[in-house]
Amino acid sequence: MNLSQLRFVTAVAETASFSRAADLCCVTQPTLSNAIAQLEEELGERLFVRTTRKVALTDFGRHLLPGILEVLSSHDALLRKTREFLYPERRLIRVGTSPLISPRLLGLIIDPFRRQNPEVEVILREMNMADLYRLLEEGQLDFIFGVSGTHKGQWKTAFLYREPLLFLPSKAGAASRQRMKTVLLKDIAGETFVMVPDACGLARATRSLFRSHRLKLNEYPGEALSYQVLEEWALMGVGAAILPKSKISRKNRSAFPLVEKSGDPVTLSFEAVWIGTEDTAPHLADFARHLQQVAPTPQ
């Protein structure tokens, strides 16, 4: 087992394609396929189901993926600590992000700062919110990007963006909603909703949304491991789901925008959080000011 094999697995899981994953990793498809096959042989079980139409993680692959991501994250963290010790003059900004953050909108936030400050390196780390807040408090992160309203009161914040929430009906209820363009929260309150673990902020935000409308949320007793699984379970008929627009696959045509009685979209807000002190390094203060001035609008 080696790090290249683990990176190939995450690339295939992300793209659902061996050819696209090979392009992403800058290797040939046979090289990537052979490496994953060798890893599967070492582990004793297949990680992916391969058909002529799609590539998907097996149950075993979904079970191992979080551990694989953790190994790669730990390796990256070790390299960063090495560089920080050997080259202390380098200016770093360590940003922890919730898995809910849209990669496209994250780019719209960070890329302008990178262009204006090429001497500053922005390091991203994706983790669940509880770990991100702990690392921020311990000084191992400089900023956190996540769902609004879950930070400690004394920390500083900046609004990042707001994203529409979409309703995914279960397979059984999809046919009856085909002619609908939008849905009200009260009209779907009778559904049973599949949830993800309360680690990224989505489950908490969904529960808060129903409470704010004085509606009961009926939760499916099991949990989906990822947004992709949540979407697949809705298509299977296990239950309905609510997801930000950026987390729903483009090929899915059964999702409906959630709207208020006024017709305004129901949205999920995201913010940056940092501690901020009088002796904050200049490049960190510059990044904080940048965040307060930049707020992308999703299309």
Residue given tokens 């090929």 in the structure block: 251
Q: Tell me what pLDDT residue 177 has.
A: 56
CB 202 within 8 A of CB 147: yes
273-293: average pLDDT: 86
Q: What residues does each domain of the chain span?
A: 3-69, 96-160+271-293, 162-268
What is the distance between the alpha carbons of residues 170 and 115, in angstroms, rounded to a whole number? 44
Q: Tell me what pLDDT residue 84 has.
A: 65
Of 233, 258, 234, the residue nearest 245 (C-alpha)? 258
Class of domain 3-69: mainly alpha
Q: How far is CA 77 from the centre of its chain?
A: 19
Class of domain 162-268: alpha beta
pTM to 2 decimal places: 0.65
Q: Tell me what pLDDT residue 298 has.
A: 54
Q: Tell me what pLDDT residue 193 has.
A: 93
Confirm whether 3-69 and 162-268 share one CATH topology: no
pLDDT surpassing 90 at residue 281: no
CB 264 within 8 A of CB 225: no
CB 97 within 8 A of CB 145: yes
Helices 59-86 & 3-15 angle (0-180, nearest 10): 120
What amino acid occupies position 57? Answer: L
Q: How many residues belong to the chain?
A: 299
pLDDT surpassing 60 at residue 299: no
Higher pLDDT, 180 or 190: 190
Buried b / exposed e over 255-265, threshold 16 CB at 10 Å, is bbbbbeeeeeb
Write out pLDDT tens, residues 130-153: 788 888 888 889 999 998 876 656
31-35: average pLDDT: 92
Q: Tell me what pLDDT residue 176 has.
A: 55
Buried b / exposed e over 191-226, threshold 16 CB at 10 Å, is bebbbbebbbbbbebbeebbeeeeeebebbeeebeb
11-21: average pLDDT: 88
The pLDDT mean for the chain works out to 86
What amino acid occupies position 95? Answer: V
**In the CATH scheme, what is the code of domain 96-160+271-293?**
3.40.190.10
What is the distance between the alpha carbons of residues 73 and 208, in angstroms, rounded to a whole number? 31
**Structural tokens at position 96:** 């922890």
Share of the chain above pLDDT 90, in %: 39
CB 270 within 8 A of CB 101: yes
Write out pLDDT tens, residues 148-187: 876 656 788 899 999 999 999 987 555 555 566 889 999 9
pLDDT surpassing 60 at residue 42: yes
**DSSP code per residue over 31-82:** HHHHHHHHHHHHHTS-SEEE-SS-EEE-HHHHHHHHHHHHHHHHHHHHHHHH
